[in-house]
Amino acid sequence: MKNATALLTTLALLVSAALSSNAQARTWDAIKQSGTIKIATEGAFPPFNYFVGKKLTGFEVDLGTAIGKQLGLKVEWVTQPFDNLLIGLNQDRYDFVIASHGITPERLKAVDFANPHYCTGGAVVSKVGGPKTVADLKGKTVAVQVGTTYLDNVQKVAGVGKVSTFPKDTDAQAALMAGRVDVWVGDKFSALEVVKAQKPKLQLGDLLFQERIGMAVKKGNSSLLKELNSSLATELSNGVYAKLSGQYFGQDIRCK
């Protein structure tokens, strides 16, 4: 039963893809004609996409906005729980998603991904003195956000104890801080920030896996995908990406 949540998430995504195969996603021409592009994100995954008061911000929000503007469009943001984002994409609720999705074979069955906008990994984070390595996870309770690659990869660790899923990544972090779990597995760059903010209570351990992160469009929307890839390439070469990455991470996080 350990895989039940992950399985359900995958099933929901595949069913949403199958049911929506007749519905038409907006092509690049249709988007261009309307003058506005609708972008979805979660808004609870700092420093990538999050709220400061009522203002949606973060590296991916700024990058998505820059891409929209570069394409000559007005940008409209939609926020959804992480687990609903790709399902809503298949229901044509928005044009693309930028929410730190790892490009996985499973997700590629349901959506198409743009070229990666950053490369990262899933990191082990615990209180000082707690588990640091993959081997240390044996018998331990691990907190992860639901529907993520962290969940899939933690479940693969031989001998891992209980895996607790949380609707938001920040809830999984809070469970670690409260001592309700031994470990939080989350994004390497988020982890660097959290460990710094909680100094000296937390420690950053091993990377459990590595992943490439990309924007998702509805499966088959090749005209939009082409525009996103070309606009991303522009931002990567004209200094906009480098500036944003420096501002949020103090380093350039593009895939090397």
Interface ranges with ligand ARG (CB under 6 A)? 42, 45, 49, 82, 99-102, 145, 148-149, 169, 187, 211
What is the distance between the alpha carbons of residues 42 and 80, in angstroms, rounded to a whole number? 5
In sequence order, what are the residues at sequence separation of 6 or more whose Cβ sits closer than 8 angstroms to the Cβ of residue 40?
Answer: 77, 78, 79, 80, 85, 88, 89, 93, 94, 96, 97, 98, 99
Q: How far is the CB of 102 from ligand ARG (least distance, A)?
A: 3
CB nearer ligand ARG, residue 104 or residue 229: 104
Angle, to 10 degrees, between the axis of helix 59-70 and the axis of helix 222-237? 110
Q: How far is the CB of 144 from ligand ARG (least distance, A)?
A: 9
What is the distance between the alpha carbons of residues 38 and 49, in angstroms, rounded to a whole number? 15
What is the distance between the alpha carbons of residues 197 and 203, in angstroms, rounded to a whole number? 11
CB nearer ligand ARG, residue 28 or residue 157: 157
Q: What phi and psi values does residue 137 have, to the nearest 5 degrees?
A: -70, -10
Q: Which of these, 216, 13, 195, 206, lies nearest to 113 by C-alpha position?
A: 216
Q: How far is the CB of 99 from ligand ARG (least distance, A)?
A: 4
Q: How far is the CB of 243 from ligand ARG (least distance, A)?
A: 22
CB nearer ligand ARG, residue 28 or residue 45: 45
Q: How far is the CB of 122 from ligand ARG (least distance, A)?
A: 7
CB nearer ligand ARG, residue 112 or residue 169: 169
Decide if 137 contacts 160 (C-beta within 8 A).
yes
Q: How far is the CB of 145 from ligand ARG (least distance, A)?
A: 6
CB nearer ligand ARG, residue 77 or residue 234: 77
What is the distance between the alpha carbons of residues 99 and 117, in angstroms, rounded to a whole number? 11
CB nearer ligand ARG, residue 16 or residue 49: 49
CB nearer ligand ARG, residue 145 or residue 203: 145
Q: How far is the CB of 103 from ligand ARG (least distance, A)?
A: 8
DSSP-assigned states of every residue in 221-255: -HHHHHHHHHHHHHHHHSSHHHHHHHHHHSS--S-
Decide if 95 contacts 217 (C-beta within 8 A).
yes
Q: What phi and psi values does residue 62 have, to the nearest 5 degrees?
A: -65, -40
Angle, to 10 degrees, between the axis of helix 240-249 and the axis of helix 222-237? 80
